[in-house]
Amino acid sequence: MPDQDTLPSPAEVAMSDVVPDEIARHRETVADVLARRDSRLLVVVGPCSVHDADGALEYAHRLAEVSGRFADDLVVVLRAYLEKPRTIAGWTGLVPDPTLDGKGDLAAGIRIGRRFLVDAAATGLPLAYEFVDPFLAPYFADTISWGAIGARTVASQPHRHLASWLPMPVGMKNCVSGRLDTAVAAVRAAALPHVFPGAAADGRPRIQRSTGNPDAHLVLRGGPKPNHHAHAVADALDALTTAVLPHRLVVDASHGNSGKDHNRQPMVVADLADQISAGNDALAGVMIESYLADGRQDVGSTRPRPDLSITDACLGWERTVPLLESLACANAVRRLSAPRKAGAKA
Ligand SMILES: O=C[C@H](O)[C@H](O)COP(=O)(O)O
Ligand SMILES: C=C(OP(=O)(O)O)C(=O)O
């Protein structure tokens, strides 16, 4: 007799309405962009966290509509983050805490989260997800086209093992301290095969044997100092050269690169657009924290607004679209001025 704290197995919450072929196509596109076989720019954009599924779906529909305008230059991926890593403590995301009050109804969170991901995938957008708790990955991974291992978990062996098993490109973020070497080591570790404990679709514990993730890559998210400037990007490329890793980078305009001030994200994006239009082909992707309304709110006793972030402050929708435009223009300049590479797809 299951007690009230029993969780469903991944198979029990899986729904048939996610289209595996479409997700496989998205993953291949993302991998092609990262490997520069596709000359477009990856843009991972969306809320810091999803706290209201309807609000986030409204955002997803707007993004899906607008992303069509930039299809020659951008591969737009929706941040669909349902777990939050905390420096010390705080709300840990819609899946661990769907009622936003610390009750921790994970069983409901898993079902609500899964429903959200399936609905968001139905917009046609590829989805991005930070895998915070490796235990939860089998519930959601089949819907995800770009994964992240965050700044607070990038040193963790279970997360590196997970990344080596995940069937999508995974970005390794530099540490909160700004150190790059831990993330570079994580990229190398994720590329290798590993054997580690996991769970089968029916929830039974099993031995996972990964083959290694060929598309793991570095994400620059800044630290106490930003690392988006051209000289920091050059340092990161040197670190990749030393580690005999391909030159491919995603740069996060938020977090340490904006000092967690959403108003600074446009400045960071402008700097990245300059580097892209100047022809830096290693800059394969940009991340932006954006939501319907500009800013953030604290969660109090009243129900939070559905359109405003309850974690990091986000750029509002009206301020986001011009950033997508500027990145698309910058990429068009890079694309049209670069000699066409052998094996290129777009
Ligand atoms: O992206 C969101 C936050 O930056 C991350 O979850 C850490 O938040 P905290 O430092 O407020 O705990
Ligand atoms: C927590 C996040 O980022 P980081 O790991 O860079 O702090 C995030 O992208 O939501």
Q: What is the pLDDT of residues 271-285, one digit of tens each?
A: 999 999 999 999 999
Classify 164 as helix, strand or coil.
Answer: helix
CA of 152 to the centre of ligand 1 (A): 9
Question: Is this structure's pTM higher than 0.95?
Answer: yes
The secondary element (H helix, E strand) that includes residue 209 is strand 205-209
φ, ψ (nearest 5 deg) of residue 279: 105, 10
- For ligand 2, atom 6, which residue shows the shortest CA distance? 151
Q: What is the pLDDT of residue 302?
A: 86
Nearest alpha carbon to residue 76 among 270, 326, 338, 324: 324
CA of 299 to the centre of ligand 2 (A): 20
pLDDT for 343 beyond 70: no
- For ligand 2, atom 7, which residue shows the shortest CA distance? 151
Closest ligand 2 atom to residue 173 Cα is 6
Q: What is the pLDDT of residue 107?
A: 97
The ligand with the least distance to the CA atom of 152 is: 2
The ligand with the least distance to the CA atom of 84 is: 1
DSSP string for 171-199: EEEPPTT--SHHHHHHHHHHTS--EEEEE
Can you name the CATH fold of 10-336?
TIM Barrel (3.20.20)
- In this structure, are residues 180 and 237 in contact, taking their beta carbons and an 8 Å threshold? no
pLDDT 10s digits, 2-30:
567 899 999 999 876 677 899 999 999 99
189: left (phi over 0), alpha (psi -120 to 50) or beta: alpha
Q: What is the pLDDT of residue 339?
A: 75
The ligand with the least distance to the CA atom of 87 is: 1
Q: Which residues line ligand 2 (CB under 6 A)?
A: 48, 81, 85, 130, 150-152, 173, 221, 252, 255
Query: What is the mean predicted confidence (pLDDT) over 114-119?
Result: 96
Closest ligand 1 atom to residue 255 Cα is 4
Q: What is the pLDDT of residue 182?
A: 98
pLDDT for 181 beyond 90: yes
CA of 113 to the centre of ligand 1 (A): 19
Domain coordinates in residue numbering, the chain: 10-336
> What integer best gives the mean pLDDT of the chain?
96
pLDDT for 259 beyond 80: yes
Q: What percent of the chain has a predicted confidence (pLDDT) above 70?
A: 97
Q: Which residues line ligand 1 (CB under 6 A)?
A: 48, 84-87, 90, 255, 311-312
- For ligand 1, atom 7, which residue shows the shortest CA distance? 86
Q: What is the pLDDT of residue 316?
A: 98
Burial of 30 (0-12, 13-18, 19+ CB in 10 A): buried
